[in-house]
Structure 1
Amino acid sequence: MNSKKASNYFSEYFQIFVGIVLTSLGLKAFLLPNGFLDGGVTGIALLVRTQVDINMSYLLVLFSIPFLILGYFTVSKRIVIKSVISILGVALFIHFENFQTITNDKLLISIFGGLLVGSGIGIAIRNGSVLDGSEILGIFLNDKFSISIGKIVMLFNIILFTVTAFVESIEIALYSILTYIIAAKVTDTVIEGFEDFIGVTIISKKYDLIKVDILEKIGTGLTVYKGKSGFGSQGVSEDFDIIHAIINRIDIKKMYRIVDEIDKEAFIVEFDVNNVKGGVLRHYLDKKKNTKFLKLKESITKK
């Protein structure tokens, strides 16, 4: 592993650690002592914690397990591993750290609890990790039924807060909704829209190697255009293929690493994608059984 790759890995895991600390602080110093909820799996654990005398850290891990198993078949193994580390990290911080309760003002609890939790989740997602399993559920249902991740997570939380209103009180449910809205908006701000996909156009003389690596390591569909250089720093050059792909934001850093390892001079244009319908978006390739892909890879790597 070269120094640049090691530095990238260190940066990613350090930022995930910061996300873990922020989320733990939001939960332990604001939400937990006051019985407020966030959305998603964290919200389920917080709600159950109000009814049974079980440590919050145990509940968080327990309720995350089904979603991590689902994630094993839905997202990349790298994301699942990072998510396991992140969730265990939050659970350990909650269990061992004694963050002091900062305020008893309910409005401040909702605002700053949501701000810290949302920031932590957003930072984790930006670095290829998930702190809440509801996002994994959203990705899975989006693949199966083409329902937006945002709508799935919202429906999940509407049910959660409705139950909270009956089990606890309407007031706690309303403050919890406020906490969730703030956390969700902060998360979106940090990751610039988790449910959106990113469009990328890659121009490189080593387009064939980049194409194979993206197919193999990310598993997203590609569109290839025939291109011809205009006039640049090296004058007019030969014809080449232009790669166009739609990639989930959680995989964007991995895509940049793949391209950088093959061609540091590659020209990449990244743009927001508001809606995606049809096509193949992620992990459709079985590298062991897909003979067409294996033949393509063999023909390119032999060049």
Structure 2
Amino acid sequence: MKYGDLIQFDPIESVVQLRDADKSSAAQQLVSTYAISEEMAERLTLLVFPQMQFEQPVDNKGLLVVGNYGTGKSHLMSVVSSLAADASLVTALSHSGVAESAKQIAGRFKVIRTEIGATTMSLRDILVAELEENLDKLGVDYIFPEVSTITSHKRAFENMMEQFGQVYPEHGLLLVVDELLDYLRTRKDQELILDLNFLREVGEVCKDLRFRFMAGVQEAIFDSPRFAFVADSIRRVKDRFEQILIARNDVKFVVAERLLKKNAEQQVKIREYLIPFAKYYDDLNERMDEFVRLFPVHPDYIDTFERVTVVES
């Protein structure tokens, strides 16, 4: 018996780049291939979409997608931003409940995606440059004031969205940023405080404007000991952001449904193969369904993988 007889192998992209979703064909593929666990469906329908929509007044905040390397963080942000940009992609979702909930944001946004690489620029300068460049492409003429001439960026964002609204009166503006944590780790003490203060302002303007912000980080920065020395700044940022955690169960679901998908007949064969070993392993019987769905990967391998933080892939 060969692995090919037991598993429906489907080629996948080993690495998803956030900006791939700028292409409509890639966006369609990213949405249709995203495996949504029930836990993730709940986060999307109860947290992400309600926070992004702007028809019903709520305490809208910025969004941080938290997941280790290889957990599908960029894929999730690509899916959400693609739905926000193109209403037709809702039908490509694999989960009917998520598809129904996604209608409240579908096609309602103009989307700007960016990834932060190796740079010494401040977070403010990076995001302002991306906004100005992409707004110009969208036909919106707006230049942020020099940082040395203002005491707060809230008025600048208000003016930006006023200009945006004149061109796109029915749309919101979504800015999606990947690799934010890697960037923040490189910042010196005073630089980091200024970056966090700007990040807080970005989260705050989401409340009153049709501007939304989503960023991907490898760990929950609000609880990270790496940033303990700026605890006060972190706490103020936390008040204006919601976190979407990609948990190990989400990863296991994706592995089972995308990498190691099996039909009912294949699952029966694997179960028959594993049953003789149950007497040698304490939890094999109790977790048989999980072992079958993830075969030939041991379920605990994914738990261990979640704790690995020193490698990228």
Is this a same-fold pair by TM over 0.5?
no
TM-score (norm: length of structure 2)? 0.26
Higher helix share: 1
If asked which structure has higher relative contact order (CA below 8 Å, sep 6+), I would say 2
TM-score (norm: length of structure 1)? 0.26
